[in-house]
Amino acid sequence: MFLYEKKIVYLSLFLDGVKNGSAGFVRISRDTDALMMDIHVKNENIGDGVYGLFLTAKSRQIQWGNVSIKDGKGDAKRTVLIREGYARFGEEEFAEDVLCGILISVGKESWIAGRWRETQDGEAMERHSNPDAGHEKEREEEAACREELNVAEKEEPPEPMAENKWEQLQRCYKKVHPFGDERLFLSIEPKDFVVLQAPYHRLVNNSFLLHGFYNYRHMILGPDREIGKETGTCFYLGVPGTYFEREKMVAIMFGFEGFECDGAVEIGKFGYYMRRVEI
């Protein structure tokens, strides 16, 4: 059976073998007899052109057509039919469990790559030498975040909180005003999720949240009567990012409720994707 029923895989751009930022995402879904991929490429450093698309099976690259990119953007949809655990490409068949990523070649030593699973033998997904160093770093950082949370949960409990927990937290974390008004939030990291109620500790595994944190190295937490006006004051966790319709759709898939910024919401504007939490 395929490793994920639904999955978002983030893409990275490598220029001359060096990671050069994010390059969009792939939405993957699996039904009874097919693997579907909705590919969205975005990075202003990618030149206009028609580039080869490859599906990775361990260390093999399977030609999968082309992707047209203009003004740093390109979209493509692909479907792989699966029969009894095998995917067929031309005269070749590949076991489904060896399919592990995609690669778009955008130059002799430049490519876009993303993976949704590790190969059992640890081989690199790309045909280039060590092209996934950036992914390795992100996985190490994600593991470190999770480890920090686990350690914090095992430590002796701190002294009892003040009667007003929010006031206590304000004495422990940096205060920020991210929306240019009087609303007060705190700057936090995934390791600080121990201040949330237990059901929200699992957010340390939320891929969208971690992606935003890796890019901007902070998140925000605070009460917001304006957002939660229907039920009074609610606490919200905000993940930094820029506003795009596709990014908003991905955020919603990962449990975020909306986007807040300083002033009116506009395409390409920096702000925070927000979701309700309890402290």
pLDDT for residue 140: 53
Please report which confidence band the pLDDT of residue 204 belongs to, taking 50, 70 and 90 as the band edges.
confident
Within 13 Å and on the Cβ side, how many CA atoms surround 67?
29
Kindly report whether the global pTM for this prediction surpasses the value 0.85: no
Average per-residue pLDDT for the chain: 79
Domains of the chain (ranges, CATH numbers): 6-116 (2.60.40.200), 145-155+165-277 (no CATH)
Run of H or E including 158: none
Q: Tokens standing for 193?
A: 């999720």
User: Distance between CA atoms of 144 and 139, rounded to whole angstroms?
Assistant: 8
Average pLDDT over residues 163-192: 88
Please report which confidence band the pLDDT of residue 4 belongs to, taking 50, 70 and 90 as the band edges.
very low
| Residues β-bridged to residue 188 | 219
3-state helix vs strand vs coil in the chain, percent to 5:
25, 40, 35
Average pLDDT over residues 112-134: 54
Please report which confidence band the pLDDT of residue 277 belongs to, taking 50, 70 and 90 as the band edges.
very high
Q: What is the Cα gyration radius of the chain?
A: 21
The order of strands in the sheet holding 6-15 is: 60-69, 49-57, 99-107, 110-115, 6-15, 18-30, 34-42, 73-83, 86-89, 92-95
pLDDT in tens, 125-169: 333 433 344 445 445 545 555 554 454 444 444 444 444 888 889
Tokens 């686990």 -> residue = 150
Average pLDDT over residues 65-77: 92
pLDDT in tens, 218-254: 999 998 765 545 555 689 999 999 999 888 888 998 8
147 or 105: whose pLDDT is higher?
Answer: 105
